[in-house]
Amino acid sequence: MGCAIVSPVSDDDRYTEDESELARVCSPIPRVEPLTVRGDKIARILAHAVVRHKWPRIEFRQLTITDSVFIEDLDLPADIVFAECMFQGSACLTNLSAIRSLTFLDCTIPKLFVHHCDMTRNLMVFLGDVQQIDIEGLHLTGSKEQSVKLESSGWLDLISLTADAPVRMDLRGERILLTQASLTSGGRVACEAEYVMADNASFGARTVIAGRTFHGKQLTHLYSLDGADCTNLELDNLDLSGVHFGKASGLGKLRIVDQPNFPLNPGRLSSRRQVIADELTHGGSAAQWRRVSEVYRQLRAGMDDARASDMYYGEMNCRRLGTPWSVDRFVLTLYWLTSGYGTRAWRALASWGVLLAGATGLFISRWPEAVKAPSFGKSLWRGFRHAFESSTALLRASEGAAQPDVAIAEWVLRLLTPALIGLAVLALRNRVKRGA
């Protein structure tokens, strides 16, 4: 495929030729059928009309453009429009400055590249059949709200997008990349895609990333916010079941509209809870577990009590798994087993039941004179009653001369029972809050 590098011309013959091409290609007279033009002609006509004649607007309509179009290193202070054009090669715009607006309407382009361009107004691209739109280093300047509308059946890559003014973006494609985007004045980004990635993006003011139903079947997936500054970010109507937060910062101020639809954990020992994809796809090292725990902690800080319980459970669980075996790990493990970190009432009550059953067996085997009865069933009842009374009477003295191990069991019951009941009450309180 050929390509044309734009450069202003001064030769008389070239000037006459460009004037003729400008009049032919940009004629306002409607065409019966598309006009065929080489890609290098498009580049020269654009430079001739805007740079030499200072046209404020140039429109290319109903053209079949052969080869690739390559336009670079120009100041183009104009509104540039391509309408109903078929590009047989790629279109690449590089290092262009002062563009007022750039519009592709009902065009067919294999690939569109817009790299390191400055735009003062709007970027609007509506493409029917395109494999990829690759926009890198686009700088939206000015003080008024900027509009960016991109629509294609392929990929939309907006890498290193910088916007000084508020932006309103309407993006539609199979995949949308907002990697390293910097929206200084915030705005709203509406996405309709299979998934969206915003790694290493930053938002200087309130910014809403809102999803739409993709192909009428599923919500747009937010796939990754790794390294992004989420301090001023709001997520609305997005599928968060696979989002990876990674090294994102400012998650404590991240706002998630409505109940986040994080996936449910696949574990068996713990009750069903919402988890983040970082926990499900971790590498298993202690450092990675601690990082996921920190993500949970920050997310919990930005949620109300009704939604923070699962985040707290995830935070504590990852903290436990990321702690080397020590006294701290032992205490966290007991906290997990006995009450689910204060969020599972049934575990605390079950732990109390196990404690009572163990004490009952100890009393029957080691203190028969206190629980002796004509039948085993009555002995079992007396042993259980003594265990229950010991667990609910913190300062009551032992009856009779018990064996040392029995006395220790009584004191263990008296100390642990209030703690387990307290954990059960706390868990029930959290559950009531979640249901409120």
Closest CA to 370 of 124, 182, 362, 193: 362
Lowest mean pLDDT among 3-12, 250-259, 298-307: 3-12
**Structure-model confidence comparison of residues 20 and 371, the more confident one:** 20
Examine the domain organization and report whether 48 and 126 are in the same domain.
Answer: yes
Examine the domain organization and report whether 313 and 374 are in the same domain.
Answer: no
Residue range 173-216, pLDDT digits in tens: 889 999 999 999 999 999 999 999 999 999 999 999 999 888 77
H or E stretch covering 349: helix 345-366
Reported pTM = 0.77
- pLDDT exceeds 50 at position 2: no
* Structure confidence at residue 54 (pLDDT): 87
Cα(119)–Cα(51) distance, integer angstroms: 16
**Structure-model confidence comparison of residues 302 and 252, the more confident one:** 252
Residue 338 falls inside a structural domain: no
Q: Which of 27-36, 79-88, 120-129, 275-284 has the highest mean pLDDT?
A: 79-88
Cα(251)–Cα(234) distance, integer angstroms: 10
Cα(366)–Cα(278) distance, integer angstroms: 50
Q: Taking all residues of the chain, what is their mean pLDDT, rounded to a whole number?
A: 81
Residue 352 falls inside a structural domain: yes
Residue 340 falls inside a structural domain: no
Examine the domain organization and report whether 152 and 291 are in the same domain.
Answer: no
H or E stretch covering 262: none
Residue range 10-20, pLDDT digits in tens: 445 555 666 67
The answer to whether 105 and 127 are in contact (CB under 8 A) is: no
Share of the chain above pLDDT 90, in %: 22
Residue 60 falls inside a structural domain: yes
- Number of domains composing the chain: 3
The answer to whether 384 and 362 are in contact (CB under 8 A) is: no
Examine the domain organization and report whether 74 and 198 are in the same domain.
Answer: yes
Residue 337 falls inside a structural domain: no
Examine the domain organization and report whether 312 and 362 are in the same domain.
Answer: no
- pLDDT exceeds 70 at position 394: no
Closest CA to 316 of 284, 294, 301, 288: 294
Residue 314's domain spans which residues? 264-322
* Structure confidence at residue 207 (pLDDT): 95
- pLDDT exceeds 60 at position 392: yes
Residue range 236-280, pLDDT digits in tens: 999 998 899 999 999 989 998 877 788 887 665 556 788 898 988
**Structure-model confidence comparison of residues 382 and 226, the more confident one:** 226
Q: Which residues pair with 119 in a beta bridge?
A: 99, 140
Q: Which of 47-51, 222-226, 269-273, 283-287 has the highest mean pLDDT?
A: 222-226
Cα(308)–Cα(253) distance, integer angstroms: 14
- Start-to-end Cα distance in the chain: 64
Examine the domain organization and report whether 249 and 358 are in the same domain.
Answer: no
Residue 367 falls inside a structural domain: yes
Handedness of CA 201, 206, 207, 212 (dihedral sign): positive
Residue 421 falls inside a structural domain: yes
Cα(157)–Cα(414) distance, integer angstroms: 64
Examine the domain organization and report whether 252 and 134 are in the same domain.
Answer: yes
